[in-house]
Amino acid sequence: MNKRSDLPSDLVIREFRIEDYDILLSLWNEAKLPHKPAGRDKKEEICREIEQTNAVFLVAEKEGVLIGSAFGTHDGRKGWINRVAVSPKWRRRGIAAHLVNEVEHRLNGMGIEIVACLIEDWNEESMKFFERIGYKRHNDIFYFSKRRSPDT
């Protein structure tokens, strides 16, 4: 586990609960994390996802206030990190790295040995973060998707 001296001593990492949904959306808005509340990030979709055995949805709390999130899933071969967000006033204290580390740990416990993330080309801050915590950038991979709607 990532041990940093600047992590808040009373930081709690716990499973996301669907009752956290509205607060989670507020966090994502505050963190300027793009999301699709009318599509793949709508409450019903997230509720469905957290019921799956391949999902690790975690949040960070300080004094009962939700200040961070990191979600992970796997496809049986590879794990995927999604929705890493930390409230701007709590950044640069190791919270995001701590959350990602815990998601990785839980995915590893499910037998997943490769963990990856997809980052849009404009998001330099996220790219630097993932490189800092040991992820390798692959400039030779191109991402293609086919979506039923723009909100998916």
Domains recognised in the chain with CATH numbers: 11-132 (3.40.630.30)
**Tokens describing residue 63:** 């004094």
Give the pLDDT band of residue 5 (cuts 50, 70, 90).
low
Give the pLDDT band of residue 144 (cuts 50, 70, 90).
very high
Query: Rounded distance, CA 106 to CA 147, Å?
Result: 29
Query: Rounded distance, CA 54 to CA 73, Å?
Result: 5
Residue 49 confidence (pLDDT) above 60: yes
pLDDT for the residue numbered 2:
45
pTM of the predicted model, to two decimals?
A: 0.91
Any idea which of 16-25, 87-96, 117-126, 142-151 has the lowest mean pLDDT?
142-151
Helix (H), strand (E), coil (C) string for 94-145? CHHHHHHHHHHHHHHHCCCCEEEECCCCCCHHHHHHHHHCCCCCCCCCCCCC
Angle formed by the axes of helices 95-109 and 124-132, to 10°?
Answer: 60
